[in-house]
């Protein structure tokens, strides 16, 4: 906290719909008088020693402030482009990606009580980026799983469950096929589970969790309710896909927040990408997911102390809980009224009109 009583948080506006959403967040925070001042930085790569890298100023800002809010960063598909998201995760060793997905009160979807928390290993697995062409027409991509990263994310998941009153951790896997890699991920989860006797632990196959009728009727698509009592932890790719599926249950990708948690810094963002398909459209951009990083349980994962196993909540750390509640109430009331909402929720309002409706409620 600075001399002016405000916290400085790095803001990376991002690509596509990112800058517009960032603008909305800034205006809402100002209206709610949240004691945060933004340090806006660009992560557009620059040339350094013949390599393209994230500008030093951006890296230093995140290091200094230890908390950042980030807009989506587009990654062109195909050769020659390293994902900036991956680079940020590696640079700051953001080892856990927390993705809560909670039904939006007042917005009707087939299920009214979705409340899942998914924790995704964020640094390796299928997204290790180790790929090469063996011979013409044959490419090898390496799924790297290490004991250390698996154990670290598992421990984080158990701590998260404990601090949030969730009774169970479920490790989601495909160890029936990937016996060694997912097998080791599971072994690490089992080992860590012994340190948490008050938290139940089980394992389930990814496809059964998504949808399989024989799975006692419990699967995220047909019966998400049982997942409300637990935290799901899994390797990188599975978490990426399963969390998008969960977002679909509550109304879409614009509604879900996420926290990339590291030991020395944490970067918060909405789950969605730069949404190039709606980038030119009016009224289609939903800022809720980016806004909800300060509530919806992501807040508790703002782990800023030296040890990755200690989890401090944003209200203890930054004492912002009262602001989070105020903003949440204003956003949810605006959605429930249904008069001034964006296209993804069936409305016709622009991002600005929707933002202003939330701001009026804050007043």
Confirm or reject binding of residue 355 to ligand NAD (CB under 6 A).
no
Region 241-260 residues binding ligand NAD, contact defined as CB under 6 A: 252-254
CA 79 to chain centre: 26
Q: By CB under 6 A, which span of 37-45, 209-217, 268-276, 320-328 interacts with ligand NAD?
A: 268-276
Question: In 3D, which of 353, 117, 60 has the Cα closest to residue 233?
Answer: 117
Q: What is the CA 18 to chain-centroid distance, rounded?
A: 15
Q: Does 148 bind ligand NAD (CB under 6 A)?
A: no
Residue 183 to residues 147, 173, 203, 208, 270: CA-CA distances in angstroms? Answer: 10, 8, 11, 17, 31
Smallest separation (angstroms) from ligand NAD to the CB of 357? 16
What backbone torsions phi and psi does residue 104 show, to the nearest 5 degrees?
-90, 115
Stretch that binds ligand NAD, among 143-151, 178-186, 280-288, 309-317 (CB under 6 A): 280-288
185-194, long-range: CB < 8 A, 24+ apart: 185/121, 185/145, 185/150, 185/234, 185/235, 187/147, 187/150, 188/147, 188/150, 188/151, 188/154, 189/150, 189/154, 189/157, 189/233, 191/151, 191/154, 192/151, 192/154, 192/155, 192/158, 193/154, 193/158, 193/169
Residue 272 in contact with ligand NAD, rule: CB under 6 A:
yes
Q: What six digits make up the tokens of 103?
A: 């039904």
Residue selected from 277, 325, 337, 360 as contacting ligand NAD according to rule CB under 6 A: 277
The number of angstroms, rounded, from the C-alpha of 88 to the middle of its chain's C-alpha atoms is: 14
Choice from 224, 251, 257, 273 touching ligand NAD (CB under 6 A):
273
Of all residues in this chain, which one has the CB nearest to ligand NAD in the complex? 273
Among 37, 75, 222, 333, binds ligand NAD (CB under 6 A): 75
User: Which tokens belong to 3?
Assistant: 């001399």
Nearer to ligand NAD, 149 or 278 (CB): 278
281 binds ligand NAD (CB under 6 A): no
Which lies closer to ligand NAD via its Cβ, residue 14 or residue 186? 14
Interface with ligand NAD by CB under 6 A: which range of 60-68, 150-158, 273-281, 319-327? 273-281
* Member of 72, 257, 259, 347 binding ligand NAD (CB under 6 A): 72
Binding site for ligand NAD (CB under 6 A): 17, 72-75, 85, 252-254, 269, 272-278, 284-286, 344
């Amino acid at each position: 906290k600075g001399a002016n009583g405000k916290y400085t948080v790095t803001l990376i506006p991002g690509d596509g719909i990112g800058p517009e959403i960032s603008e909305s967040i800034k205006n809402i925070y100002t209206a709610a008088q949240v004691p945060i001042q933004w340090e806006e930085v660009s992560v557009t790569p620059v040339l350094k020693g013949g390599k393209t890298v994230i500008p030093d100023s951006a890296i230093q800002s995140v290091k200094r402030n230890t908390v950042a809010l980030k807009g989506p960063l587009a990654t062109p598909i195909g050769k020659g482009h390293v994902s900036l998201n991956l680079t940020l995760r590696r640079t700051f060793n953001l080892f856990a990606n927390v993705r809560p997905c909670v039904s939006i009160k007042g917005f009707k979807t087939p299920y009214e009580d979705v409340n899942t928390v998914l924790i995704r290993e964020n640094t390796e697995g299928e997204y290790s980026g180790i790929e090469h062409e063996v011979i013409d027409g044959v490419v090898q991509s390496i799924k790297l799983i290490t004991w250390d990263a698996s154990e670290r994310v598992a421990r984080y998941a158990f701590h998260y469950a404990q601090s949030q009153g969730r009774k169970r951790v479920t490790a989601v896997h495909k160890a029936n096929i990937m016996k060694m890699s997912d097998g080791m991920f599971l072994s690490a989860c089992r080992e860590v589970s012994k340190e948490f006797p008050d938290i139940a632990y089980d394992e389930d196959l990814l496809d059964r969790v998504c949808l399989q009728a024989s799975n006692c009727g419990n699967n995220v698509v047909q019966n998400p309710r049982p997942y409300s009592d637990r935290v799901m932890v899994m390797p990188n790719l599975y978490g990426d896909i399963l969390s998008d599926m969960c977002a679909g249950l509550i109304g879409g990708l614009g509604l879900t927040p996420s926290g990339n948690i590291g030991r020395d810094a944490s970067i918060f963002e909405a789950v969605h990408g730069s949404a190039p398909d709606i980038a030119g459209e009016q009224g289609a951009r939903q800022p809720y997911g980016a806004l909800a990083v300060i509530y919806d349980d992501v807040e508790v994962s703002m782990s800023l102390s030296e040890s990755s196993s200690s989890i401090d909540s944003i209200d203890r750390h930054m004492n912002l809980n009262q602001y989070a509640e105020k903003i949440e109430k204003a956003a949810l009331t605006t959605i429930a009224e249904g008069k001034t909402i964006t296209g993804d929720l069936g409305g016709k309002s622009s991002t600005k009109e929707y933002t202003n409706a939330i701001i009026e409620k804050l007043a």
